[in-house]
Structure 1
Amino acid sequence: VSAQAPAKLETLPGTAPIVWPEADLSERLMEGAHTFVERKLAEAREKRPARWSYDFTSPEAYETSIAPNRDRFRRMIGVVDDRVSPVTMESFGEMTRLLGASRPQGEPAGTSGNLLLNGPGIIGLDDSEPATPDPSLAAESGTFRAWQVRWPVLREVWSEGLLLEPLPQADRTGRVLLGNEANALLADKPRVVIVIPDAGETPEQLAGLAEGDPGRREFVRQLVANGFTVILPAILDREPYLGETADDEARLKNAAITHREWIYRQAFQMGRHVIGYEVQKVLAAVDWAKGLDPDATVGVAGWGEGGLLAFYAGACDPRIGATLVGGYFQSREKIWAEPIDRNLFGFLNEFGDAEISSLFPPRALLIDETPGGEVKTPKGESAHQPDLEFWRFGTRDSSPLSGEKSWTFPFAHRASALLSPSLIWRFFDQPEAATANPMGFLQNGLSANVDLAIFPDLRPHFSAADRQDRLFHQLEADVQQLIRDADALRDEWFLYQAEPKLRPGGWSTEKVHPTLDPANFIANAKAYRERFARDAMGTFDEPLALPNPRTRKVAETDRWTAWDVVLDVSPELFAWGTLVLPKDLKPGEKRPVVVCQHGRNGLPRDTIDGGKSAYNDFAARLAERGFITFAPHNLYRGEDRYRWLDRKANAIGGTLFSFLIPSHRQILDWLKTQPNVDPARLAFYGLSYGGESAMRIPPVLEDYAVVICSGDFNQWTRKVAATDFPNGFMRSIEWEMPYWNLGNTFDYSEMAALIFPRPFMVERGHHDRVSVDAWVAHEYAKVRWLYAQFGLADRTEIEFFQGGHSINGQGTFKFLQRWLDWPER
């Protein structure tokens, strides 16, 4: 199509002119969207107190008042699965040590047979037997032994690390005591502290079997020297993940994915989180300690990423008596700028570190304010650098901690007065302060002189990298199993609840089955539509502004005229698109409208102008057939610029579609007022990210009477989170693609069920690498089955064509003509 630009500024009747000079308004629109979401982030902080209903009248009343917040926090970080019960702490190591020989080169390591710990760190050995090197013994000194241990957590997920067994004060001569005798000497009740390393730090460094931070080593040695059993779990690092094959390596290098992000991406889609998995590992260790004795005293501590995990574990589980958080506690108002593996959906609506700390009373929470390590990734960074001058002099400034402390201190005073006379919070501003009394709630200081020497690791073939690999692949395998289970879960959650008669019956040899009345399903689907809009796509509490339409003519041929249209959506956000009007429109004539949606990095004119690969000027071609078309601009242009917009929105329970759905609502409302538009005949036809939009916007906006998804329809959960598809999003730069818990609630067949009973079509090129035909056909078969059960199979179609990622414009055009009641031209 050869379109001529207008010689002078012209506008549509009843509209003001667009005065912005740039032809491409996408950057202006993106700036407005960022300004809008930053206002919403600020509003979230102000509205946060309304999410809490503290009752300080008694400890029991207080716990009841915060229980809903604690439950929501657990779900937010993915702590939703029942853990293995009971938990047995297993020691393990290489059989070669028992055989008195080193492992031959290339021979895999074995295990010792999983010796069971029958007390907190107490190994039952008979001292009458000859001394045999135990393969699970990592180190020993005059005050403790370090054992290589593991414990079950979820399904096939285990935690691994070290357990430091304190030797009784009365028997540090080398004789190993049996369980009961040792317990009597150690304490009346077990005392266990779980100390969590930073990402990239190992349990061996904390224990002093490898070089590491001397202050943390002293902390651990102090604990064990004073009779605490110390558990040191390993956590995932942030080293780059380069895959399992050479082909993987190139793609993953470009995507810059760390081990933590690799698990985050797939888990987030399934309502789990790398944070939640590792909190579960800590809580499983608590289960073990409490299983030994319900009155066991349990504490957790950590620095950096370990500080986050200790903080979150303590917030989740009231059984944890005290928590020490180092190098982490500060304002989280910019959580969206932190490493992406810390992304939590809706976090800032209800929580900051101050609010999380309110989940602790009357238990002790100790904050070590010493600076934590810096984390820098292409998808976020953090540096815990509190302003200690603020702490010393009490002045308000812009330090990372000032806002959280100004809230926490008065709250702590009130909670302490009403709930418990004992210490609730304690802040340390120097490393030696935390080391001197790390768990003050347990005893009056720790004064033992400890040896800080690096002890030799007794495991000749131990590899921290191999352990990291085991833990990493266990989490990956667990998420992949969740993906395989999700189809059936979604059916139970949505389909069979909306219409129980859809549940499969027994074996049938009937030639024809009766169809169902769709009324019940349509009525019940409304609640799922609301959940999809609110919980999956995210909604902002913001009324639509008056549209204030502005227009200008931008192109013209002998068959149609194109107009840019700008509509206000909010004070900062506007909608922009290009309206194409056929020139043969008659006064008062009402015609159907096809909204033609571009894909990633596209612009409205891409759907209109000739020579644009993939789009094939389908908006212009439809206009030549007599349809009115409108090509909106969607925000997915500018690569990481829109991804950061999505990250900001995630922090307050939004997504990219939290901006797009209101924009389309405003567009539809305006289109319905136009003199030549039939408001009952509005269709949506999108390619690529526009096809993704087709599966997310029309399910919410029912004014779209006909829907076509091109170049995108998929088994979406697998596309986003499965690791066995080379062209999936796990290996791409598109780190915004995971949507919280979408895999358990809405895949594409469920989204199509929200479009039902409206006509719905899929356009699929055999050579479109966005998916494979088998995946597309599998998911679409569920859509057609649904329509067929209600006798409406004629309302849905799929067209496979011998092409790639492209608009074909054959069967889809006929579909539009049929269902928009428009004659073929």
Structure 2
Amino acid sequence: MLCAVWLIGFTIASAEDHNTTRATAELQTLPDTQPLLLEEPLDEWMVRGINRFAERELSRSSDGRQRNWHRDYASEDRYLQSVQANRERFAKIIGAVDPRVDQPTLQMIISQDDFQSPAPILASSTECIVRHVRWPVMDGVTGEGLLLSPKGQELTASVIAIPDADWSPEALVGLTADSDANPFVLQWVQQGCEVLVPTLINRDHEFSGNPAVAFTNQPHREFVYRTSFEIGRHVIGYEVQKILAAVDHFVARRESQQQHRPIGVAGVGEGGLLAFYASAIDTRIESAMVCGYFDNREQIWREPIYRNVWSLLTEFADADIASLIAPRRLTIEACGVPEVDGPAAVTPGRRGGAAPGRIRTPPLATVRDEFSRARSHYQTLGCPEKIEFVASDKGTGPAGSIPAVTSFLTGLKLPATLKAPEKLVPHLPLVDASARQSRQIDELVERNQRLVRDSPRIRDQHWGKANRSTVESWIETTQAYRDEFYDEVIGRLPHAKLPINPRSRLMIDEEKFKGYEVVLDVFEDVIAGGILLLPTDLQPGERRPVVVCQHGLEGTALSTLDQRKDRFLERGFAAELALRGFIVYAPQNPYRGGDAFREIQRKSNPLKRSLFSYIIPQHERTLEWICTLPHVDPDRIAFYGISYGGKTAVRVPPFVPQYALSICSADFNEWIGKTTSNLYRASYVFTGEYEIWEWNMGNVASYAELACMMTPRPFMVERGHRDGVAPDEWVAAEYAKVRRHYDELGLGDSTTIEFFNGPHTIRGLGTFAFLHKHLNWPEPK
């Protein structure tokens, strides 16, 4: 049984107790380590420290952003040329990467009862007529909304006005009373502008799910985000593409008519974000108005997850995005927006698990500060009059104040003789907004599913330069792929490590092994820690292999010693391996604490980092220290992880060459489908792991490619038939790629998969034999 010191998690209640603990620790530490005097659970200390590190990095992000810019203010042409690469990178990180249709056209939508009228009027006033329209965007994707046309006057400009996600197009133009939207867009119609008002994916959750699986409490925007992120797409990018497809239509029409009509884009709240981003990407937009969105984004991790953009703050604060609009007209309006507190309550018949996130009206002071940074680019370029700041009622009033509307019209070179617009009068029943929302969601989700189905082909093409003719050629030609995955999917921390500063204390004292809790420094506030198990029969001068045993989600290092976790074993797998004579190290990984660790991912993604950006350096530091221990053979160190530890098994050893082999237990599967499928019951689309996605991984490498990065080191999969992680068929098909790869390189004996009749657990039969064989350690008799 585990007898022991069991200090972890205990609170030191008095100075006397503290001194006693210190004296005890000094007598029971590993050689060449300081006493570990930890007064809280290791996992809590670790997670809190990484959170502090990530927050500090966000606050420092402005220091590094400018390294990615080389603005040339000498002339407008040279300026535009100097920021073009930034513009292209911005489009890529928001997922606006797919080609749009060649001949976009606005199509009038009519019902069966309206066949006699080719363009039925939905509503009108003496100044304006309103029609229901849609337009093609890309294969299988359309935009849909309202088109407002001036009545009785020549067109002067084309405007796309984007409502907040909580508002329907009808709400923005005053046809419904279900929001506090100000119908300011009608004032643009007064000036001869045609105004297109698109439908956004909204924040309701009616369609977030699949009747064949389950429905959830995720906002529709999050549901689309979840199916998009892994394949390098985003709900933001899709909706920007819808806006730009409308711009394509307006540009094509004016060219065919040989009449230049300026194009403007404006938006409120979520629509402000989209207007801002679309205008940054497309220089054909001559005037942009951003209402209630512009702000300092260092707290973006607190906003809804559907605003999470990988690597955003490494290059693009809001002021930098504004610099992509220069020298065109930009109007920033500080105003009130619909505020959000998420997630929604879980209602009967629905799953929970939606990500937390909130939206607040940006504070006027921070908007002004960010605006001043944006204005500096216009100032240096010599056009400060092209950017204007407006505060609607001290920054909390409704969007579309007269100064903001006037500023926007100035960018379209239109006079502003504004008056109160007439209210629209409906002539036909309003569009079924719920059915329209369902169509828009289904199009994007189905497009994502098609992209997922095509992703193996994309990955095969991507890996086309890898040479499998020999082991040497494979290693040489795949280093670039290994670097790419680390840099672009995981995110590499550029920081130099601190001195190692090892601390330890005895925790477990058994007849056949002793266990020491160990803590090592990695970066400021970032530690590596775990439990080292040393067999008691170690002989002087003897060097033995090491097995690093990694726990699963919400586990601890101690859970690897718990027999309840590994149902086929008498003890936990770490303890069992120690009893077999291996030196064993059980690291504490930071995926523990619910939202506390998921916030690490949220804080890190904007800086092009993920949870594994910290986990890989933790393992590097751990192995650096383990290799100094007198009984360790540094050439025989294995990794063995279960569940989330299995995720670690394909994301850490390929990038840490000190690992001699890797075993992935209870996780290996077709990862891209697992993270994006709207049909598989255990897909992460339907669960509470809202941090799990890795940007564009589906186009770079799935589990087979990651496992092949281990070559020529041995790799094994352990899989229970009743493991709900994925179907056996997914696991077998993905592993078949690995087996073929090893076989083709003459390394077939270095990889295997063991299926067993059991659940999500460690079997410890074939895997233990694999460890003994490849670590050259005799099995017990």
TM-score normalised over the length of structure 2: 0.92
CA displacement, residues 85-134 of structure 1 (integer Å, 9 cap, x when unaligned): 11121111211233xxxxxxxxxxxxxxxxxxxxxxxxxxxxxxxxx544
Match of 1:434 in 2: 404
One-letter amino acid of the counterpart of residue 377, structure 2:
F
CA displacement, residues 414-463 of structure 1 (integer Å, 9 cap, x when unaligned): 22x2xx48523343444232244542122453225454324215146x30
**Cα shift at 1:330:** 1.0
One-letter amino acid of the counterpart of residue 388, structure 2:
W
Match of 1:509 in 2: none
SS at match of 2:507: strand
- Sort the Cα spacing of 1:449 and 1:212 in 2 relative to 1 into closer, same or farther, 3 A: farther
**Cα shift at 1:143:** 2.2
CA displacement, residues 240-285 of structure 1 (integer Å, 9 cap, x when unaligned): 2465666755xx44xx311000000111111010000000000000
Percent identical pairs in the alignment equals 41
- Sort the Cα spacing of 1:214 and 1:3 in 2 relative to 1 into closer, same or farther, 3 A: closer
Residues 536, 740 of structure 1: 8 Å contact kept = yes
Is 1:321 the counterpart of 2:339? The answer is no
From 388, 395, 400, the counterpart of 1:425: 388
Match of 2:157 in 1: 191
Instruction: State how 1:82-121 maps to structure 2 within 5 Å.
Output: 82-98=99-115
Is 1:740 the counterpart of 2:695? The answer is yes
**Cα shift at 1:570:** 1.3
Match of 1:452 in 2: 422
SS at match of 1:358: helix
User: C-alpha separation between the residues in 2 aligned to 1:80 and 1:635?
Assistant: 34
User: C-alpha separation between the residues in 1 aligned to 2:516 and 2:632?
Assistant: 15
Match of 2:561 in 1: 608
User: C-alpha separation between the residues in 1 aligned to 2:593 and 2:181?
Assistant: 45
In structure 2, stretches of 5+ residues that fail to align are 7-20, 344-355, 394-400
From 332, 354, 357, the counterpart of 2:319: 354
User: C-alpha separation between the residues in 2 aligned to 1:214 and 1:2?
Assistant: 64
CA displacement, residues 713-759 of structure 1 (integer Å, 9 cap, x when unaligned): 01000011111111111100000011110111110001011111110
User: C-alpha separation between the residues in 1 aligned to 2:611 and 2:506?
Assistant: 29
Match of 1:33 in 2: 50
SS at match of 2:224: helix
Match of 2:373 in 1: 407
CA displacement, residues 349-370 of structure 1 (integer Å, 9 cap, x when unaligned): 1111111100111100011112
From 663, 673, 681, the counterpart of 2:636: 681
CA displacement, residues 210-241 of structure 1 (integer Å, 9 cap, x when unaligned): 22667631x21111121111111101101124
From 486, 492, 497, the counterpart of 2:465: 497
Instruction: State how 1:360-379 maps to structure 2 within 5 Å.
Output: 360-378=325-343, 379=356
Bigger drift between 235-244 and 200-209 goes to: 235-244
Match of 1:530 in 2: 483
Match of 1:477 in 2: 446
In structure 1, stretches of 5+ residues that fail to align are 99-131, 170-185, 388-398, 503-515
One-letter amino acid of the counterpart of residue 277, structure 1:
Y
Residues 209, 678 of structure 2: 8 Å contact kept = no
Is 1:550 the counterpart of 2:503? The answer is yes
- Sort the Cα spacing of 1:620 and 1:457 in 2 relative to 1 into closer, same or farther, 3 A: farther
One-letter amino acid of the counterpart of residue 492, structure 2:
T
Residues 266, 738 of structure 1: 8 Å contact kept = no
User: C-alpha separation between the residues in 2 aligned to 1:437 and 1:262?
Assistant: 36
Residues 192, 296 of structure 1: 8 Å contact kept = yes
Instruction: State how 1:787-802 maps to structure 2 within 5 Å.
Output: 787-802=742-757
- Sort the Cα spacing of 1:457 and 1:213 in 2 relative to 1 into closer, same or farther, 3 A: farther
User: C-alpha separation between the residues in 1 aligned to 2:237 and 2:472?
Assistant: 40
One-letter amino acid of the counterpart of residue 358, structure 2:
E
- Sort the Cα spacing of 1:811 and 1:136 in 2 relative to 1 into closer, same or farther, 3 A: farther
One-letter amino acid of the counterpart of residue 460, structure 2:
D
Is 1:50 the counterpart of 2:67? The answer is yes
Is 1:380 the counterpart of 2:362? The answer is no
Match of 1:395 in 2: none
Residues 330, 384 of structure 1: 8 Å contact kept = no
Is 1:15 the counterpart of 2:33? The answer is yes
One-letter amino acid of the counterpart of residue 642, structure 2:
L
**Cα shift at 1:412:** 2.5
Instruction: State how 1:151-170 maps to structure 2 within 5 Å.
Output: 151-169=135-153
Residues 3, 609 of structure 1: 8 Å contact kept = no
User: C-alpha separation between the residues in 2 aligned to 1:611 and 1:444?
Assistant: 73
Is 1:463 the counterpart of 2:432? The answer is yes
Residues 695, 751 of structure 1: 8 Å contact kept = yes
User: C-alpha separation between the residues in 2 aligned to 1:248 and 1:773?
Assistant: 19
Is 1:345 the counterpart of 2:329? The answer is no
User: C-alpha separation between the residues in 1 aligned to 2:458 and 2:424?
Assistant: 51
From 499, 508, 523, the counterpart of 1:570: 523
Match of 2:296 in 1: 331
**Cα shift at 1:569:** 0.6
User: C-alpha separation between the residues in 1 aligned to 2:312 and 2:378?
Assistant: 22
Bigger drift between 196-205 and 441-450 goes to: 441-450
User: C-alpha separation between the residues in 2 aligned to 1:692 and 1:3?
Assistant: 32
**Cα shift at 1:209:** 2.2
Residues 577, 604 of structure 1: 8 Å contact kept = yes
TM-score normalised over the length of structure 1: 0.87
Match of 2:542 in 1: 589
SS at match of 2:651: coil
**Cα shift at 1:472:** 0.5
Is 1:201 the counterpart of 2:167? The answer is yes
User: C-alpha separation between the residues in 1 aligned to 2:282 and 2:211?
Assistant: 43
From 779, 801, 807, the counterpart of 2:762: 807
CA displacement, residues 161-180 of structure 1 (integer Å, 9 cap, x when unaligned): 111121233xxxxxxxxxxx
One-letter amino acid of the counterpart of residue 489, structure 2:
A
Match of 1:259 in 2: 220
- Sort the Cα spacing of 1:346 and 1:421 in 2 relative to 1 into closer, same or farther, 3 A: closer
SS at match of 1:785: helix
User: C-alpha separation between the residues in 1 aligned to 2:420 and 2:388?
Assistant: 27
User: C-alpha separation between the residues in 2 aligned to 1:270 and 1:609?
Assistant: 38
- Sort the Cα spacing of 1:384 and 1:357 in 2 relative to 1 into closer, same or farther, 3 A: same
Match of 1:283 in 2: 244
CA displacement, residues 395-420 of structure 1 (integer Å, 9 cap, x when unaligned): xxxx33143023123332222x2xx4
**Cα shift at 1:594:** 0.3
Bigger drift between 444-453 and 279-288 goes to: 444-453
Match of 1:109 in 2: none
One-letter amino acid of the counterpart of residue 497, structure 1:
K
One-letter amino acid of the counterpart of residue 651, structure 1:
P
Match of 2:654 in 1: 699
Is 1:145 the counterpart of 2:129? The answer is yes
Bigger drift between 657-666 and 88-97 goes to: 88-97
Bigger drift between 686-695 and 145-154 goes to: 145-154
CA displacement, residues 319-339 of structure 1 (integer Å, 9 cap, x when unaligned): 100101111111111111111
From 617, 624, 629, the counterpart of 1:662: 617
Count of residue pairs the alignment pairs up: 737
Residues 225, 450 of structure 1: 8 Å contact kept = no
**Cα shift at 1:537:** 0.8
Larger radius of gyration: 1
User: C-alpha separation between the residues in 2 aligned to 1:543 and 1:425?
Assistant: 43
Residues 331, 388 of structure 2: 8 Å contact kept = yes
User: C-alpha separation between the residues in 1 aligned to 2:367 and 2:209?
Assistant: 41
**Cα shift at 1:466:** 0.5
User: C-alpha separation between the residues in 2 aligned to 1:316 and 1:364?
Assistant: 14
Is 1:642 the counterpart of 2:642? The answer is no
Is 1:305 the counterpart of 2:270? The answer is yes
- Sort the Cα spacing of 1:334 and 1:448 in 2 relative to 1 into closer, same or farther, 3 A: closer
**Cα shift at 1:208:** 2.6
User: C-alpha separation between the residues in 2 aligned to 1:457 and 1:330?
Assistant: 40
SS at match of 2:309: coil
User: C-alpha separation between the residues in 2 aligned to 1:86 and 1:612?
Assistant: 59
SS at match of 1:659: helix
Residues 122, 429 of structure 2: 8 Å contact kept = yes
- Sort the Cα spacing of 1:664 and 1:215 in 2 relative to 1 into closer, same or farther, 3 A: closer
CA displacement, residues 693-725 of structure 1 (integer Å, 9 cap, x when unaligned): 001011111111110000000100001111111
User: C-alpha separation between the residues in 1 aligned to 2:683 and 2:667?
Assistant: 12
